[in-house]
Structure 1
Amino acid sequence: MQIIRYPAKSNWSEILERPVMNLEEAEEKVKPIMAAVEEHGDSALKDFTQKFDKVSLDSLEVSRYEIDKAIEQVSEELKASISIARNNIEKFHVIQKELVKKVETMPGVYCWRKSVAIENVGLYIPGGTAPLFSSVLMLGIPAKLAGCKEISLCTPPGKDGKINPVILFTADLVGIKKIYKCGGAQAIAAFTFGTESISKVDKIFGPGNQYVTAAKQLAAKYGVAIDMPAGPSEVAVLADSTANPKFIAADLLSQAEHGIDSQVIMVTNDAQLAAATEAEVKRQVGELPRREIAEKALENSKIILVESIDTGVELINQYAAEHLIIAMDKAESIGEKIVNAGSVFLGHYTPESAGDYASGTNHTLPTNGYARMYSGVSLDSFFKKITFQNITTEGLKQIGITIERMAEAEQLDAHKKAVSIRLEEIRKK
């Protein structure tokens, strides 16, 4: 990791640049895949699975028999851990349900808003080097709690043509019935257009590589909503002299092992801590099975020394990290100053991996600086909000003249008449 000492504020933007994702190049590769799936449906999906995953499939849908066999392969200890995580995630998300609140904005004028579940949602779960069964919990649980009518899950098969058993166990645990052996941009295309096996969806959720990201952004152009723009995973740590360098190094590496394009950042006002953490990162990375991936990610990563924690807060807010760890004794008071972050982890004993798996918060978060304007996935992500209003005759008498004057000022006479004609009828009674 590169140590940068007391950079001038004018240099922050350059220092905080993420690894470049060439989405335009990825889009050009993804467009023919999208077009083929739109035209040829399941046939194209099977062809792409053969081409990219080296697997020949007779059927895209995972059978009940395959699910039952997969469940048998998962250890009871892991099943118990996943069940604990499910309970915590459910507890955190269920309290996000909003009660309908009817407001009388003026006498006889009633307005309210209702949350209605998005009917058809598609969940994309990466396979590859790290099959993310935890994402099944993070996406499947709020989808079920919201009451989405149809939930489809796509994930790439392994070389044996099977889905990772833990993914199937977790999907079954949260009640997802429609599971398909389909990965990459072609899975996003299936969600976008629909095929003989996979239904077209209204909104697509889930992380993925640059091609999945490019496909999701193309899907949005075809009228399918997506959870958020996404890029490589990232973590920032803001630390002072009270922090433990071993803890910080472990936190940095927990994100660096995600992929070679991940980025980790440490910001501190303590030079000794910076040096100790750098040494600890070098020691710990050598112990990782995914060492080569982590080492490549560390090439994109930095330790930044600042004059004060207040300066560090300002820099961190500019970075807008997906995950932010505040490693200090007084972490909660500093946390109040954070305005740009996907999810914040307070104190020395709150590792980022707790949020990734089991504490209860959602790990599907905005990356690449999008935390400045996007929230992470929540129960609300699976709802659309519909407003209602009901105006009595007395209410229209109260508000009618206001509407008429405003419509007239905008020279929209039909708008005015829609009120006037009703008021005339009321006066006759």
Structure 2
Amino acid sequence: MLPPFALAQEEEATAAVIAGESVARIEALRARADVAAAFRFFQAEETRNLGDLVTLTQIPAPPFGEGPRGEKLAQMLREAGADDVSIDEIGNVIATRRGRAGARGGAPVVAFAAHIDTVFPAETDVSVRNEGNVFSAPGIGDNTRGLVALLSVLRGLNAANIQTAGDLLFIGTVGEEGLGDLRGVKHLFSEDGPRIDRLIAIDGGASDAVVAHAIGSHRYRVEFTGPGGHSWGAFGTANPAHALGRAIAVFSEKAAAITAQGPRASFNVGRLGGGASVNAVPSSVWFEVDMRSGEQAQIDALDAALRSAVAEAVEAENAWASLGDPIRAELVAVGQRPAGRGDESASLVQAAFAAIASEGFEPKALASSTDANIAIARGLPAITLSRGGRGGRAHAPDEFWVNENQHVALNVLLLVALAEAGIAER
């Protein structure tokens, strides 16, 4: 869900520190004839990639409605030469390219993951418009282009006849956006998921960026209920709307104090509703709130502040009331994304830094909210890398993607995967 350049969720980026051995590892890969052949393939495949981008973009894929696009992606992965392709019980598309050692061997299993879903409802017009190198449609960059990158890396490996030591997985995940709440990748890292030793999420536009840290979030729908009644005849009845307003005000004060110090954090009441008429005491009202930070302790502090504010608001409103039954409040979690700090000295992160530098960029590390969150929070090697090209207006109807040096991201993705999975010499 990353906007391509100005990432709204990210913390301030930091310049990467690259170990000399990581640079040497990537330079050795770039010197190989088969890797050079894959690079040439990526550039030659530009036209097919653009066709795939249009095809996939024009299949609607809202959260919880990714099925048709997932089926098409599975078909394309089979045609691209994957050894095995399946769709799991919640809709993730999982393709395997077997390594020489296999999943039971000593080499790590490296997984690419690009999310299938977009933020747009099923009825959205997703027709692609093209002017020169600019392609426009809802969801075309975030993250349909990520799916195209997934396909292209698989094709490049096969075209160059590169045999890895460890297995490679090419996964289209469901539920990354909004209320999908990372349900796809959460399932991958459950007891029912495949073995994954390294995760490379493809979901970003900046060619120099490595998302090495996870910004987490807690999201709630807070509902206040009561007996309701006529605004005149039932005056004195506890009013859920009054409690809602007080809860938001108290929470805002408490949360402002938390976010004013310590690691960066944010809070936002984004939606609210309820009630039947201007002259009726409502029986039900609600609001939705988002709280996030790169440090779990900050999120937990905001969570506690919300619960305290809601309890205080309910108590105050019930204390005022002189008629009827008391009001109640319920907090329903609608999203839980864990925060976590990755290890920038880890082999996977170092490989990404060195690969990006080898393409002429100055790599930087940052934190954001992506499919990599779950693995990072558990201390597993995981990053998010660029999908390639250049884009803008993510999550807006006029979203666009520019076909500009798309091969650079593909080169980086290939190098990082080979550095981690290893190449099986013939």
Compare relative contact order (CA 8 Å, sep 6+) and give the higher one, 1 or 2. 2
User: Which has the larger strand fraction?
Assistant: 2
Q: TM-score range by the shorter chain?
A: under 0.3
User: Which has the larger helix fraction?
Assistant: 1
Q: TM-score, normalised by structure 2?
A: 0.26
